[in-house]
């Protein structure tokens, strides 16, 4: 399993296999994050995700060989171009993982930037959104009950409409995935592996809520194509990967995670609240 095995199974001639091998070495280098250890973790995710087949398999996610074939055809001229081409490929193959058939029976949890959510909601509010501020909307949300939030936000997206929404659930607390989180910012992002908010945006205020999947909507186990080429904190396997930043959580403490289409406020099942600092 991995890029080397994909090349060996390709049936390509020797020259193309050698080109593919050099391409893999270049991709590993282009995806390095010198601010993270191991610095080639993003490449490892693409190389080792067991859900991604080396070569084409019907009813499975797009293969590693397909990525190499596309990159060889494009022949990116620089590491940045190579990273961009790989990113575009990942973007085109999101939500291809297997369906998580347990997810619909659970309330799904979501942690997100407070400012990003407030900006998104205001952008959908027409004239009100042009005159209101994040702080004004924040006060309304803080005072509103779950029922009030469901009604007021019923037709407003809680995630960017054309992007997959990442969520998690807790099998030991199916009705509220937030119950067994400590509620503090540090421990929440640690257990859920939200490294962006720990390392890159350490002062970012966060919101949390729970929602149910609307009828007919599916949740998929994320693959490395969902993880993409920018986040070294994520790991394949279908569970969140604790950061180890607080010393409270280890590898076995992750929670099941899924990707699915964005939902509206009408799907809320646990009210939106602001994560304590």
DSSP string, 114-173: HHHHHHHHHHTSHHHHHH--HHHHHHHHHH--HHHHHHHTTTSBSS-TTSPEEEE--TT-
Give per-residue burial for 185-221: e unless 16+ CB within 10 Å, then b.
Answer: bbbbbbbbbbbbbbeeeeebebbbbbbbbeeeeebbb
Q: Which of 58, 92, 126 is the last residue of a domain?
A: 92
Residues 73 and 161 in one domain: no
Q: Is residue 97 part of a domain?
A: no
Instruction: Looking at the structure, tell me whether residues 200 and 266 fall in a common domain.
Output: yes
Cα(134)–Cα(119) distance, integer angstroms: 7
Total domains present in the chain? 2
CA atoms within 13 A on the CB side of 92: 11
Nearest to 2 by CA among 36, 37, 40, 53: 53
pLDDT of residue 52: 98
Domain boundary among 73, 92, 111: 92
Residue 110 three-state SS: strand
Are 228 and 259 contained in the same domain? yes
pLDDT digit string (tens) for 103-142? 999 999 999 999 999 999 999 998 776 677 888 899 999 9
> 153 phi and psi, to 5 degrees?
-110, 15
**Same-domain check for residues 155 and 191:** yes
Do 61 and 174 sit in the same domain of this protein? no
Domain that holds residue 17: 3-92
Question: Is residue 234 a contact partner of residue 254, using CB atoms and an 8 Å limit?
Answer: no
As given in the structure block, the two tokens for residue 24 are: 């893999």
Specify the pLDDT at position 245: 87
Q: Are residues 153 and 256 in the same domain?
A: yes
Instruction: Look at residue 98 and tell me if it is in a domain.
Output: no
Q: Mark whether 7 and 118 lie in a shared domain.
A: no
pLDDT score recorded for residue 129: 61
Weakly modelled stretches of the chain, pLDDT under 70: 129-130
Residues 197 and 116 in one domain: yes
Three-state DSSP at 185 gives helix
**Same-domain check for residues 8 and 130:** no
The whole-angstrom separation of Cα 55 and Cα 6 is 6
């Amino acid at each position: 399993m991995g890029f080397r095995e994909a090349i060996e199974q390709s049936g390509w001639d020797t020259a193309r296999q050698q080109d593919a091998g050099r391409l893999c070495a270049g991709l590993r280098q282009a995806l390095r994050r010198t601010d993270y250890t191991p610095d080639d973790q993003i490449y490892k995710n693409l190389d080792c995700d067991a859900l991604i087949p080396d070569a084409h398999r019907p009813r499975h996610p797009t293969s590693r060989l397909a990525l190499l074939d596309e990159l060889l055809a494009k022949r990116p001229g620089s590491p940045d171009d190579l990273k961009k081409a790989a990113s575009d490929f990942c973007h085109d193959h999101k939500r291809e993982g297997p369906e998580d058939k347990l997810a619909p029976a659970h309330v799904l949890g979501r942690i997100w930037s407070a400012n990003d959510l407030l900006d998104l909601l205001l952008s959908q509010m027409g004239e009100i959104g042009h005159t209101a501020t994040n702080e004004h909307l924040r006060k309304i949300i803080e005072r509103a009950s779950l029922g009030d939030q469901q009604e007021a936000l019923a037709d407003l997206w809680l995630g960017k409409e054309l992007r997959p929404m990442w969520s998690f659930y807790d099998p030991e607390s199916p009705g509220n995935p937030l119950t067994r989180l400590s509620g503090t910012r540090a421990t929440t992002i640690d257990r859920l592996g939200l490294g962006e908010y720990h390392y890159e945006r350490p002062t970012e205020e966060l919101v949390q809520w729970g929602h149910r999947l609307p009828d007919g909507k599916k949740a998929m186990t994320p693959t490395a194509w969902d993880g993409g080429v920018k986040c070294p904190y994520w790991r394949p396997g279908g569970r969140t990967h604790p950061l180890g930043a607080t010393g409270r959580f280890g590898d076995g403490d992750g929670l099941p995670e899924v990707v699915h289409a964005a939902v509206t406020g009408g799907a809320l099942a646990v009210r939106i609240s602001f994560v304590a600092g």
